[in-house]
Amino acid sequence: MSVYESIGGAAAVDAAVDIFYRKVLSDDRISHFFDDVDMDGMRAKQKSFLTMAFGGPNEYTGKDMREAHKHMNLTEEHFTAVAEALVGTLNELEVPQEHIDEIVNIAVSVKDDVLNV
C-alpha cells in the first residue's frame, strides 16, 4: 500500500489542504508570493501538490515544477518554509512519523526542480 492509500487518499488531501494553505499564508518568508493569486485556483494547485507529496496519482513532472517556479527566484529558505508547513500539517493531522518521513522524502525529491538549480 502506498502512503497515499494508507493515510486515506483523496479524503486526506481534502483534510490537509486548508490547514497547509493557511500555514503557507501565515509564514512571512513565503506569504507574499500568494498576495495576488486566485485563492480557489491556488487551492487546486495545493491539492495537486499534496497528492504528489503523499505519493498519490498525479501528473507532475520535473519540467512542470521548473516551469511553474521559474521566475520566482526561490531560495533554500523558501523551500524550507514550505516543507515546515507540510510537516506541521501532517503533525496536526496526527499522521504517523514513518509516513511523514516518506512524504518529506518525496517533497525533497522535487527540490532542485522547484529551486531551478
Partner 1 sequence: MVAINFTSEQEANQQVELEQGETVLDGLLRAGHDIPYGCRAGVCQSCIMQCSSKNMPSQAQQGLKPAQKELGYFLACNCLPSEIMDVSTAVSKSEKVSAKILEKTYLNNNVLRLRIDKVFDYKPGQFCTLWKNKTVSRCYSLASIPQKENFLEFHIKKLDKGQFSKWAHNDLQVGDSIGVQGPLGECFYSYTDISKPLFLAGIGTGLSPLYGVLRDALERGHNGNINLVLGAKNADDFYLVDDLLALERRYIQLNVHFVAQTLLKSDDNKHIVEADIYEYIHQVVPDFKNQRVFLCGADSFVKKMKRRCFMAGANMPDISADAFLAFNQ
Q: What residue ranges bind partner 1 (CB under 8 A)?
A: 9-11, 13-14, 17-18, 21-22, 25-26, 39-40, 43-44, 47-48, 51, 56-59
Shortest Cβ distance from residue 110 to partner 1 (Å)?
Answer: 17
Residue placing its CB nearer to partner 1 in the complex, 43 or 99: 43
Residue placing its CB nearer to partner 1 in the complex, 24 or 100: 24
Shortest Cβ distance from residue 43 to partner 1 (Å)?
Answer: 5
Residue placing its CB nearer to partner 1 in the complex, 35 or 77: 35
Would you list the DSSP string of the chain?
--HHHHTTTHHHHHHHHHHHHHHHHH-TTTGGGGTTS-HHHHHHHHHHHHHHHTT-S----HHHHHHHHGGG---HHHHHHHHHHHHHHHHHTT--HHHHHHHHHHHHHTHHHHHT-
Residue placing its CB nearer to partner 1 in the complex, 26 or 75: 26
Rg (CA), the chain: 13
Shortest Cβ distance from residue 76 to partner 1 (Å)?
Answer: 26
Q: Are 78 and 29 in contact (CB under 8 A)?
A: yes
Shortest Cβ distance from residue 30 to partner 1 (Å)?
Answer: 14
